[in-house]
Amino acid sequence: MDTSRYVSISLKEVDAETFLLGDFTKLSLPSKSKQSSKHDSRVPLNEMQSARDREAAIVRDLLYVITGKEGIYIKYSQEVDETDLFKCFKGFTYRINKDIDINFKDLAKQLSQLGKFYSALFFFAKYFNKACHGKVLSRFCEYIRNFLQDYRSVVCTLFELFDNEASFSIISLHQKLNDITSSSTVPSIANSMHLLYDLVQLIVEENTKRLKNSNLLDMRFENIMKSLKEDIDTNIMDDVFLDSQNSRHVKGGTVLNIIMSQLEKFSGNDRSYNLFHHIYEFVSIYYIQTLNDWLQYGKVLDPFHEFFIVESIPESDSSVYNSYYWTNKYAIKREGLLRQFEPIDFQKQVFLTGKNLSIINECNCQSLIKSSPFNPIKSLQGTNLELIITEAYIRSNKLVYQLLSSGYDLFGFVSLLNKYFLLTDGASFDIFLNDSNHELKRSFSNKASTEIIRSYENAYDTEYKTGIENVVSDLLRIKFERHSLLEDILDIIRTQVTDASEILNASDFGKLTDLLKANVQNNSQSQPSEKSADLEGQRCNKLTISRLNLDVEIPFPLNQVIIDSQKLEYQILFRHSALLKFLEKRFEKSWRELGYQTFWTWTFEDKRVRKWIKRCRFIHTKMYDFLRIYTFYFKYDVIDNNWSNIIRMFQEIEQGEKNFDLSVFKFQMTDFLSSSMCDLLLSQSELASCLYELFTLIVVFHEYVMSLRKALLLMDENLLNIYKHKLNLSIKFNNAKKEEKLTSLIKGIDSYHHTFQRKLAELCEYLGYYGEIDSPKMLLLHSKLVSSFKL
């Protein structure tokens, strides 16, 4: 072959420029110019006499075409326009001279496809090598550059063969581009080009989808609905904040998932699988680095927002120690979530690993993290990925436990909360009740609040406080609520929640928004029922003790263990326990009145009066028995029984039988408080209302008993004469008035007895019903009440 007729080309790159994300070689679009030669005109194919010359002309053109240029006989099928992104991403198509030999046409068409692939990859690497598309896609662009560089080297070799070997044919060109060596583990360079082209088309398609706002809204809606369904189905993401925002640009995990889809598609083809495996490993290097930083240090070093853990709330000095801020500081971004992390328990493990470490960082204990060894992730496709993350999760919990136990005495702190909120120890509160009994039994008045607060502080001011007890007591303060406990409980219980099935059936953002707005409006405009409106008039709900509450400012990082909702449950249990102790104190006083006060122990001549007194004592005893049974149930069957699970957990951790897990501990604290609320009849409106109606009846009966001294004087003339002078009374005994009063007293005691029996039977009926479906412990209280009162 006469090589002097052909021109050699240079495939040398232009000078390198510095790209924002790193140093890369700048690429430009293939130029529209033809191959240049000292001979500008070419002989038409149909005028060439030799078939070999015609073939050589086509092969020479193809060597240009496969690098995205056009030849003499093979040209672009349409004008190249760099501003037409759709055509540039699809690649330039070619039209072949009609006079080409039929023997060459099919191979020429196949090989010209490589020019289409080349130009598409070329433009893709230039267009997507931007900061808005992040490091992962930039890394993929770098891979394409490297591939095209290798491809051009192959083309240079083919040019040399074409120039130096007279036997080099179109078949030779086709074979060289599709050859696979015995040592190669990946497809031929032509097939690799095709596979890469298909991959970039998927990425372009995803990016194009995001250009429209409507598509972004649809994608966000899908993310929200998926998150809601998972949360409803599994209830495992309670401690995790989810972010459903979508990026306008394809990047990060979305790119990796597209590559992974191709990897899985070719799982049965070893060479194609190896190609995508290598691409995934090459492209994921920055993602792995971000993941390791999160798992090792609890830091999100993600300037281009590609990672699936995001810092959802910007840092603020004024809210760093706020419980809400830290609960919602980090979120899982559903968009671009890697397939490896689709199992929601795996997501949560990764999320909490870094969040635990971020808590340690905020406490300026970075040395604790640095001193602990860490096994980094080297590949997202490794079989040991789950094992490494599990190790990282265990490591983060061990570090958090060291921080909370040695620095903040975690077990001591929660034990003291139980003490101060009257779940495990009420000795000091009994002193307070004795001292402030008079103020607490009256209707609430702001005038008495200062005296009550002073009495509380004096009762708990002892010289035997430990270090942590001094800290906790300084965080506590007495306050008074606007409403009684029962009113607040019923408000919480009656808050309407949107039906989950209605939410999941919402077809778009508009319907979902309407559902949520309707729920908020219903709750804000709901009118209290006639029964709840009458609560304020009930004696039990008017007492100052029913407004008394205890507040605590839980410091960071302990507010990550006892969150605001748990603090609210502690407060409800405190108010309930305080009222119960108050009722016991009041009934002790009326018990002494009935048993030892002279007016009640007098030997009345009228048997009806003696019988009435016995009935008063009998009913008082029954009410007192009810209080004792419920108090015993409160302390031993509910609180002590539920709290024993947490004590056992701490013992196992201290003995090395179990690893501490902050998430599990928070769940157990939530379970302890929620179960206690439920078991103590405070989670169902019927149970709570019935229980507090009994409490109200007990309060009223106590006050009734304590007000009967004057009535007893009128029941016996001798008794009246003895105390008439002692009490300086001017009244005289009147038998008619005595009969009238006695009739009233007998009717009154009958009413108390019947009401108590009816309310007790009603409570037992509710206990039997809710005990079967809600809490087995209620059945225990039910059996005690039924056997004690013969219901």
pLDDT(135) > 90: yes
C-beta of residue 480 within 8 angstroms of C-beta of residue 549: yes
pLDDT(214) > 90: no
Q: Which of 159-173, 265-279, 459-473, 731-745 has the lowest mean pLDDT?
A: 459-473
Q: Are residues 311 and 368 in the same domain?
A: yes
pLDDT(11) > 60: no
pLDDT(537) > 70: no
Confidence label for 187 from pLDDT (cuts 50, 70 and 90): very high
- The more confident residue out of 55 and 273 is 273
Helix or strand holding residue 477 (H, E): strand 476-480
**Dihedral sign computed on CA atoms, order 722, 727, 733, 738:** negative
Q: Are residues 219 and 365 in the same domain?
A: yes
Task: Give me the pLDDT at residue 446, please.
Answer: 64
Confidence label for 541 from pLDDT (cuts 50, 70 and 90): confident
Q: Which of 408, 429, 457 is the last residue of a domain?
A: 408
Q: Are residues 21 and 147 in the same domain?
A: yes
What's the rounded mean pLDDT across residues 94-115?
A: 86
What's the rounded mean pLDDT across residues 731-748?
A: 87
The verdict on residue 23 lying in a domain is: yes
Q: Are residues 172 and 194 in the same domain?
A: yes
The verdict on residue 665 lying in a domain is: no
pLDDT(480) > 70: yes
Give tens-digit pLDDT for 632-641: 999 999 999 9
Confidence label for 237 from pLDDT (cuts 50, 70 and 90): low
Give tens-digit pLDDT for 582-592: 999 999 999 99
The verdict on residue 740 lying in a domain is: no
Q: Which of 363, 379, 408 is the last residue of a domain?
A: 408
The verdict on residue 328 lying in a domain is: yes
- The more confident residue out of 445 and 360 is 360
Task: Give me the pLDDT at residue 147, please.
Answer: 95
Q: Which domain holds residue 15?
A: 3-201
Q: Are residues 153 and 47 in the same domain?
A: yes
Tokens for 735, please give them. 């038998």
Contacts of 770 (CB under 8 A, 6+ apart): 684, 686, 687, 778
Give tens-digit pLDDT for 419-447: 999 998 888 899 999 988 888 888 776 65
The verdict on residue 72 lying in a domain is: yes
Q: Are residues 130 and 223 in the same domain?
A: no
pLDDT(530) > 80: no
Instruction: Tell me how many degrees the CA angle 741-744-747 measures, rounded to the nearest 5.
Output: 150
Q: Are residues 218 and 189 in the same domain?
A: no
Q: Are residues 124 and 101 in the same domain?
A: yes
Q: Are residues 197 and 227 in the same domain?
A: no
Q: Are residues 79 and 23 in the same domain?
A: yes
- The more confident residue out of 764 and 24 is 764
CA atoms within 13 A on the CB side of 471: 15
Q: Are residues 50 and 88 in the same domain?
A: yes
Give the residue among 122, 119, 123, 141 at the shortest CA–CA distance from 20. Answer: 141
**Dihedral sign computed on CA atoms, order 118, 122, 128, 129:** positive
CA–CA gap between residue 508 and residue 515 (Å, rounded): 11
What's the rounded mean pLDDT across residues 487-497?
A: 71
Q: Which of 47-61, 229-243, 412-426 has the lowest mean pLDDT?
A: 229-243
Contacts of 76 (CB under 8 A, 6+ apart): 32, 70, 92, 93, 94, 95
pLDDT(671) > 50: yes
Say how many C-beta atoms besides its own lie within 10 A of residue 461's C-beta. Answer: 10
Q: Which of 201, 236, 255 is the last residue of a domain?
A: 201
Tokens for 96, please give them. 């072949």
Most confident of 4-18, 93-107, 713-727: 93-107
What's the rounded mean pLDDT across residues 764-790?
A: 92
The verdict on residue 484 lying in a domain is: no
Q: Are residues 176 and 216 in the same domain?
A: no
pLDDT(20) > 60: no
CA dihedral 106, 111, 117, 123 (to 10 degrees): -120
Crossing angle for the helix pair 564-596 and 427-440, nearest 10 degrees?
A: 70
Task: Give me the pLDDT at residue 380, please.
Answer: 93
Q: Which of 81-85, 522-526, 616-620 has the lowest mean pLDDT?
A: 522-526
The verdict on residue 746 lying in a domain is: no
Mean pLDDT (the chain, rounded): 82
Instruction: Tell me how many degrees the CA angle 725-728-734 measures, rounded to the nearest 5.
Output: 75
Give tens-digit pLDDT for 610-624: 999 999 999 999 999
C-beta of residue 353 within 8 angstroms of C-beta of residue 330: no
Task: Give me the pLDDT at residue 579, please.
Answer: 93
Query: Based on the number of CB atoms within 10 Å of its own CB, is 86 exposed (0-12), middle (13-18) or buried (19 or more)?
Result: exposed
Our count of domains for the chain comes to 2
What's the rounded mean pLDDT across residues 676-704?
A: 91
The verdict on residue 370 lying in a domain is: yes
